[in-house]
Structure 1
Amino acid sequence: AAALADPDNPPLTEVELDRLESARRVRRARAATGLSQARFAAAFRINIGRLRDLEQGRTQADSALLAYLTVILTEPEAVARALATGGA
């Protein structure tokens, strides 16, 4: 009750919690590859500024990007092959 009443430290909103969960998912996918932000962004054709914003929780990934990250997490070689053969 005291925490909820503290005006200097309000609880996170649902939107803020969703953004933090999105950031964790993005960081987890990148960490699984062992790549830096710059190399991950280049390898998987994700804008580096967008990747940084996502990882820092400034923006939230949409469902398409979350799906793409899931594929990267489970089949990174398949994604790399698809991108190398012209799949833009």
Structure 2
Amino acid sequence: MLLDEAPLNTPGRVPRVKIIRRALHLSQEEFASRYLIPLGTLRDWEQGRTEPDQAARAYLRVIAKEPETVSRALGTRDAA
């Protein structure tokens, strides 16, 4: 579980997407591909240009807690 490595802070705060991605040892391209997030969107989140909306924040929380389950559910487990 990556939740301890990627604190979500207080409710409403943006999960630290870069920390989640790095904890999974994935490049931006690999993370975006595996979790079906547009690469430009991921980069915008990581660089603070935009913030994930409520649905994206929930999705990132699930990825942080169960990354392999999400990848399997999406059928992108081996995506790089």
TM band (smaller chain): 0.7 to 0.9
Distance in 2, matches of 1:29 and 1:65, equals: 14
Q: CA deviation at 1:32?
A: 1.7
CA deviation after TM superposition for structure 1 residue 27, in Å? 1.1
TM-score, normalising length: structure 1:
0.66
Higher helix residue share: 1
Correspondence for 1:83: 74
Pairing of 1:53-68 with structure 2 (within 5 A): 53-68=44-59
**Structure 1 match to 2:28:** 37
Residues matched between the structures, number: 64
In the alignment, structure 1 segments of 5+ residues that lack a partner are 1-20
5+ residue gaps, structure 2, are 1-12
- By how many angstroms is 1:80 displaced? 0.9
Output the CA distance in 2 between the equivalents of 1:32 and 1:64: 22
Contact 1:29-1:70 within 8 A present in 2 as well: no
Task: Tell me the residue number matched to 2:5.
Answer: none
Identity of aligned residues (%): 53
| Equivalent residue, structure 1, for 2:38 | 47
Matches within 5 A, 1:12-31: 22=14, 25-31=16-22
Letter matched to residue 26 of structure 2: L
